[in-house]
Chain A
Amino acid sequence: MDVAASVKRGTRAGLLVLWELAKVIVPAVMLIHVLEKSGWLGRISDWLEPVMGIFGLSGEAALALVSANLSTIYAGLGVAVALGLPARETTILAAMMMINHSAISETALVAKAGARAGWVLLTRTVTMAVVALLLNWLLPGGGAA
């Protein structure tokens, strides 16, 4: 095994991921910062509070969830970073994003591989909701919502 070549390829892969992250984190942080300063973040959060509250999340967490599913897990991560949620919410949100993300591209991939893509997507979505409910119920520090 060629160690130098592996280090080189690994570095390139790592830098590529950093670049991918930068492309979503920087705009996401900018957008959230502007939303926050202009007071819109609070308003959006208030609208979505009733739905996200079921999972023990504040309303603005929905922004991360939507980004993760429409785009990639990196986009969701970028928004989560920008929001700077407390650890409990970050864990619940992360579990949801990890189980269901890139809904469009990964479902297309699964379909291409020849599996029943609709069932795969449905299972992931149901699992996401169940896990979030369980986490909100089990993790200490909840109850206020």
Chain B
Amino acid sequence: MMWLTWLWEGLLSGVLEVARLWWLVLLFIGIQFLKDGGWLTRASRYMAPVLRPLRLPGEAGLPIAAGLGIGLTYGAGILIQTAREGRLSRDELTVMCIFLGICHAIFEETVLFAAVGANGLLLLAIRFATAAVAGWLAARAWLQPAAVAAQMQSDARIR
């Protein structure tokens, strides 16, 4: 009988915990506005400071913006579409996914964790910094600098 009491108490406090998060609905309305207002396409044009250190071409701007803003699961459509169109090489995709794997859905996940009592801004800063370092290292491991890559492409064309 003690077990049943404990389960019932747990159920009540569980429902209360969820109810305390009601304002998340407001956050998602905000994110929806960002998506519907064409902000993603606009943001993708300003991704150059992120792309350059990662040695990624401009085509990676949209999936990076989508991953950062909406997240891997919801941004997956854009990610997979970019990959299928073949505009990014396997190496470029790997570097992009290392960066995005560590740092994505920066609005939703930061707010969620702040809601349960973690230091949201500190978390976001750490996440972005580690993603930048890991991505930077991965870019050095797999990708040529833009100038060399362009040179190699033109060499290949001559041959």
Contacts and interface: CB of A to CB of B under 8 A. Distances in A.
Contacts, number: 174
B80 A124 contact: no
Taking residues whose C-beta sits less than 8 angstroms from the other chain, chain B's interface range is 35 or more
B118 A11 contact: no
A34 interface: yes
Interface in B17-37: 17-18, 21-22, 24-33, 36-37
B36 A26 contact: no
Interface of B: 2-3, 6-7, 9-11, 13-15, 17-18, 21-22, 24-33, 36-38, 72-73, 76, 79-80, 82-83, 90, 93-94, 96-98, 101-102, 108-109, 112-113, 116-119, 122-123, 126-127, 130, 134, 138
Given A94-B118, A120-B101, A114 B26 contact: no
Interface of A: 1-2, 5-7, 9-11, 13-15, 17-18, 21-22, 25-34, 37-38, 73, 77, 80-82, 87, 90-91, 93-95, 97-99, 102, 105-106, 109-110, 112-117, 119-121, 123-124, 127, 130-131, 135
Given A90-B118, A106-B101, A34 B112 contact: no
Given A33-B13, A113-B83, A91 B122 contact: yes
B90 A26 contact: no
A94 B121 CA distance: 12
